[in-house]
Amino acid sequence: MRNISLILSVLLMVLAGCAPIHVGPEISHDKLNQLVVGKTTKSEVIAMFGALPTGQSRSSIGTSTLTWTHTRKDYNPWIGIYLPAASDVVTVTFDKDDLVQSFNYGGYQGQRELSTGVGGPPDLNVKQ
C-alpha cells in the first residue's frame, strides 16, 4: 500500500510539472475588438500585443504588415513530449500613414479550425 502511495505521489508531481507552454503573446478577442480600421495606429497595435511581431513585411506602395503568433503546447505524458494544442495568428496590414488598413485572424484548437475574420471582429464560428 505504501508503494502505491509513493508511486501516485511521484506521478502527480511529474504531471503537475508538465503545465502548458505558451509561445508568443496571447491574442485575446478583446484585443482584436479594439482594432479599428482607419483609426488604430501601428504603435497602438504593437503596444496592445505587448511583444515584437513574429513576422513583418513592407510593400513597394508603402503599406506594411505585421504578424503575431501564439501557440499553446500541452505535455503528452504517453509519448513524453509537448505537442501544439492551440494556435492563434493575427496579421495586421497598415496603410502608408501607419493606420490599420485590414486584419486577419485565424487559429485552431485541437482538431477544430477557427474561421478567419477580415477587417472586423473575428468570426469565431467553428468549422467542422
Sorted by where each begins, the domain ranges of the chain are 19-127
Mean pLDDT of the chain: 74
Nearest to 62 by CA among 94, 100, 101: 94
> Can you name the residues that pair with 68 across neighbouring β-strands?
90
pLDDT per residue as tens digits for the range 96-121: 999 999 999 887 655 444 544 444 44
pTM here? 0.65
Which runs of E-coded beta strand occur in the chain?
21-23, 55-58, 64-76, 81-94, 100-109, 112-118, 126-127
Round to whole Å and give the CA distance between 103 and 4.
Answer: 54
Q: How far apart are CA 97 and CA 63, in angstroms?
A: 8
At 42-72, the pLDDT tens digits run: 999 999 988 788 888 998 999 999 998 887 7
Opening angle at CA 73, ends 77 and 70, nearest 5: 175
